[in-house]
Amino acid sequence: MGATVLPDLPASRTEPDGSAVVRVLSYNIRSMRDDRAALARVIRACAPDLVCVQEAPRFFRWRKHAAWLARESGLVYLTGGATASGPMILASLRAHVERAEDVLLPRTPGLHQRGFATAVVRIGGAGLGVLSCHLSMRADERYVQAGLLLERLAGLGLPYAIAAGDLNDRPGGRTFRRLAAELQDGWAVTPWGDEHTTRPGDPPQRIDAIFATPGVEVLGCGVPRGLPGVTEADLRAATDHLPVLAAVRVPAAGPR
């Protein structure tokens, strides 16, 4: 990914006041049809607390494949996969899962079924809603799905939440702009690493993103470079997207 040395992205930690620094990864894994070992190496090297996966395995023995990826990445399966039509959430043992739900979206005849994987987790003294998405290739359906995403995120009932995924839209697009009008676009707020989420050699574009609700502090967000133990060949072999990694600080919740 080049010789540029990036400043370190903050490590996961819980602050004395109960707030939590959380590392969030968003990654389209193309149904694990590529180099699975390289994929697991990339995820492990990102050291995430939460992984919002898109295009998780959805068909024959999909749970076995999801379990393999979680195990080899040093994580646990939380929710999603076939039950959300592709989006999935993995988590480290640092995250205490309070609830999880998979949501199938209204389907346009002739187009792929889409869905959200959602969860509420507690890390340290902080509560955080999480949503993984993969929006439609078709502009009108994608725009409607963005509205459903905002509704679902609000419906999690927490002041702090993260939405991450493959938007199939660029920052100037109508859907991307709809989300960025209400949520913080991690790269735009605190850019870190590279911007474009397509592999080297493909047309450069940013169609994968991590968003946060107001009140979540974005400490850095972008495509990581120079991951320990990961080569450019690994990034090319793992899948047809590059990972997006963010570190955010989530305030502690009040008395429960």
Q: What DSSP element (H or E) covers 248?
A: strand 244-250
- φ/ψ bin of 41: left (φ > 0), alpha (ψ from -120 to 50), beta (otherwise): alpha
Please state the rounded mean pLDDT for residues 168-175: 97
Please state the rounded mean pLDDT for residues 159-182: 98
Whether residue 94 is predicted with pLDDT greater than 50 in this model: the reply is yes
| Distance separating alpha carbons of residues 104 and 53, to the nearest angstrom | 16
Contacts 24+ apart (CB under 8 A), 58-66: 58/31, 58/82, 58/85, 58/86, 65/32
- The residue among 21 and 4 whose pLDDT is bigger is 21
Please state the rounded mean pLDDT for residues 168-196: 97
Please state the rounded mean pLDDT for residues 204-212: 97
Which pLDDT value is given to residue 254? 57
Q: What percent of the chain has pLDDT over 70?
A: 96
Please state the rounded mean pLDDT for residues 82-87: 97
- The residue among 6 and 256 whose pLDDT is bigger is 6
Which pLDDT value is given to residue 203? 85
Measured between alpha carbons, how far is residue 218 from residues 74, 121, 149, 211 in Å?
24, 18, 20, 9
Whether residue 3 is predicted with pLDDT greater than 50 in this model: the reply is no
63: confidence class by pLDDT, cuts 50, 70, 90: very high
| Distance separating alpha carbons of residues 24 and 75, to the nearest angstrom | 13
* HEC readout, 34-79: CCHHHHHHHHHHHCCCEEEEECCCCCCCHHHHHHHHHHHCCCEEEE
**217-250 confidence digits (pLDDT tens):** 999 999 998 999 999 999 999 999 999 999 999 9
| Euclidean distance between the first and the last CA atom of the chain, given in angstroms as a whole number | 45
Contacts of 235 (CB under 8 A, 6+ apart): 1, 38, 42, 199, 200, 242
